Amino acid sequence: MAEHEHGPLPDADQEPPRRAPHDYPRRVLLAVSGLSPQILTETLYALAVATDPPFVPTEIQILTTVEGAERARLSLLSEDPGWFARLCRDYQLPPITFGAAQIQLITDADGRVLDDIRELEDNACVADQLIERVRDLTADPDCALHVSLAGGRKTMGYYAGYALSLFGRAQDRLSHVLVAAPFEQSWNFFYPTPYSRVIETQDKRLADTRDARVTLAEVPFVRLREGLPTRLLEGRASFGDSIAAAQRALEPPQLLIDLEQRCLQAAGETLRLKPAPLAFYALMARRRQQGLQAARWNSDGLAAQYLHEYRRIVGAHSGDVERAEAALADGISAEDFDQRRSRANQALTKALGAPLARPYLIQAEGRRPHTRYGLRIEPEAIRFGSIAEAVGPHSDDRAAENRNQDQEAGA
């Protein structure tokens, strides 16, 4: 056979060394903001001043509406009152990148900026844009992301938290800032000052901002990132698509092999393989389905089983079959066996990501030199048939999208 698989599988269990969030060179505070821009300075104060050790962002990003952006610009970024610059001066914070360029306006499905979020469709746009921003920030291994739930409408906070649950890593955090009475919901309060500053509170009383208490409540969240397929971590997908993929990752493994379309479906993701690795993977699946023991390169009948699957894929009268038969006249060599196993596993790992691919990989059993290889997925979870028929008449679009992203995997 002319097709060979080279290169070792990535070590799925190898983890980068852990660092505390404040030790990362890039530290981003991401907030959703509505009509109360104070939440940004309150959260920044809590993170950079009131927390030990402090988490001082290197940049701040906001997602907000037109009105929210205007309020942030006038109250935080203006010369006067300029509360963001004041906070940085009052507590001698290092330079933090935050300006008009870091304020992202939420847009509707047609790209028009939103004045407010009232319609069901607007909520969907907010969710999709939060997903995209969080995914982009968490794709940077040198970045620690801190997401604030405090601002904007309740649905915005929910989507921000869920986006971090989907894509968040060990160094990322989620929080809500708490302001003690009588300073909460007061337009005149932006952060506790290191000097006396008397303001009128919401209930028309006077209070000194030096006496204010601001607390950061860290919100635990379940990290689902390891269960997401590679296409969602690297590409663009809607909030709903990401949730559906995470849900499928929590379900028991299901494997469907479509030899006619030269693809397989694992964890709800469809990936296309070239005939050689697909035939090898299919024979392993067939052996598991039939209750046969794991195989070695010299297992009885292995070459015949491989050729049987290969004919089903390329057609019995294909010239490729004749070449395959000639190449395997003396059976499958140990080298060829290892290469085909590696290529099939690499294709699955590339498409699904290492954690999600693990149940579907061809795995080793026993010790050298008597190691055997096979699938460990439950036999009843393996099926051969049409992917389009199995998932319904509207599956072609998503399957096509997945095949484009993993086109000719295993080539």
pLDDT digits (tens, 9 = 90+) for 86-103: 999 999 999 999 999 999
Highest mean pLDDT among 34-48, 124-138, 315-329: 34-48
Burial bucket for residue 260 (CB in 10 Å: 0-12, 13-18, 19+): exposed
Same domain for 220 and 273? no
Q: Tell me, yes or no, whether 277 lies in a domain.
A: yes
Name the nearest CA neighbour of 44 among 97, 81, 115: 97
Q: What gap in Å lies between CA 39 and CA 35, rounded to an integer?
A: 10
- Domain match, 205 and 298 both: no
Q: Are residues 175 and 264 in the same domain?
A: no
Whole-angstrom distance, CA of residue 15 vs CA of residue 393: 41
Identify the weakest region by mean pLDDT among 10-19, 199-208, 345-354.
Answer: 10-19
Residue 7 domain-assigned (yes or no): no
Q: What is the pLDDT of residue 402?
A: 43
- From 357, 334, 359, 337, select the one nearest 347 (Cα to Cα): 357
Q: Give, in order, the Cα–Cα distances in Å from 43 to each of 6, 158, 166, 196, 296.
A: 50, 17, 23, 20, 59
pLDDT at 40 over 90: yes
Torsion angle, alpha carbons of 381, 382, 387, 392, to 10: -30
Q: What is the pLDDT of residue 369?
A: 81
Q: Is the pLDDT of residue 245 over 90?
A: no
Question: Does the pLDDT of residue 111 top 90, yes or no?
Answer: no
With cut-offs at 50, 70 and 90, classify the pLDDT of residue 118: low
Tell whether the model's pLDDT for residue 242 goes beyond 90. Answer: no
Q: What is the mean pLDDT of residues 322-341?
A: 92
The residue from 210, 227, 244 where one domain ends is: 227
On the 0-12 / 13-18 / 19+ scale of CB atoms within 10 A, 14 is exposed
Is residue 62 in some structural domain? yes
For residues 386-394, give the mean pLDDT: 64
| 231: enclosing H helix or E strand | helix 230-234
Residue 238 clears pLDDT 80, i.e. is over it: no
For residue 255, the cross-strand partners are 266, 382
More confident call, 109 vs 360: 360
CA neighbours within 13 Å on the CB side: how many for 190? Answer: 21
The DSSP bridge partners found for residue 273 are 409
Number of domains in the chain: 2
Q: What is the 3-state secondary structure (H, E, C) of 61-78?
A: EEEECHHHHHHHHHHHHC
Is the link from the previous residue into 95 a cis peptide, with omega within 30 of 0?
Answer: no
In this predicted model, which residue has the larger pLDDT, 409 or 254?
254
Using DSSP, state whether 390 is helix, strand or coil. Answer: helix
3 state DSSP class of 41: helix
3-state secondary structure of 8: coil
- Tell the residue number behind the tokens 């929590």, with chain if given: 250
Task: Place 120 in a pLDDT band, splitting at 50, 70 and 90.
Answer: low
Q: Is residue 12 pLDDT above 60, yes or no?
A: no
Q: Where are the beta strands (DSSP E) in 191-312?
A: 198-200, 206-208, 214-218, 255-258, 263-266, 269-272
Instruction: Identify whether 13 is part of a domain.
Output: no
Please tell me which of 118-122, 234-238, 278-282, 349-353 the model is most confident about, judged by mean pLDDT.
Answer: 278-282
190: burial class by Cβ within 10 Å (0-12, 13-18, 19+)? buried
Output the pLDDT for position 406.
41
Do residues 258 and 197 both lie within one domain? no
Are 93 and 217 part of one and the same domain? yes
Summarised one tens digit per residue, pLDDT across range 311-330 is 999 987 778 888 999 999 99
**The predicted structure's pLDDT at residue 316:** 77
CATH of the domain at 74: 3.40.50.10770
**Domain check: are 331 and 211 in the same one?**
no
376 in a structural domain: yes
Please tell me the pTM assigned to this model.
0.74
* Same-domain status, 198 and 258: no
User: What is the DSSP secondary-structure string of 297-344?
Assistant: TT-TTHHHHHHHHHHHHH-TT-HHHHHHHHHTTT---HHHHHHHHHHH
Please report whether residue 37 resides in a domain. yes
Lowest mean pLDDT among 206-215, 368-377, 400-409: 400-409
Higher pLDDT, 23 or 150: 23
Per DSSP, which regions of 180-232 are E strands? 198-200, 206-208, 214-218
pLDDT at residue number 411: 34
Query: What residue has token string 């149940």?
Result: 359
DSSP H helices in 75-168: 83-90, 120-138, 154-167
Cis peptide before 252, with omega less than 30 degrees from 0?
no
Note whether 205 and 342 are same-domain residues.
Answer: no
Asked if pLDDT for residue 360 goes beyond 50, the answer is yes
- 242: in domain: no
- In this structure, the answer to whether residues 258 and 220 fall within a common structural domain is no
> Mean of the pLDDT values across residues 335-348?
92
Question: Which strands, in side-by-side order, build the sheet including 263-266?
Answer: 269-272, 263-266, 255-258, 382-384
> Residue type at 98?
F
What letter does residue 114 receive in the DSSP assignment?
A: P
Does residue 37 sit in the same domain as residue 182? Answer: yes
- How close are the terminal C-alpha atoms of the chain, in Å? 13
Residue 235 pLDDT level (bands cut at 50, 70, 90) = confident
When pLDDT is cut at 50, 70 and 90, the band that residue 117 belongs to is: low
Q: Which domain holds residue 98?
A: 21-227
Percent pLDDT > 70 in the chain is 88
Claim to verify: residue 176 and residue 325 sit in the same structural domain: no
Q: Could you tell me if 189 and 279 lie in one domain?
A: no
Q: Is residue 244 part of a domain?
A: no
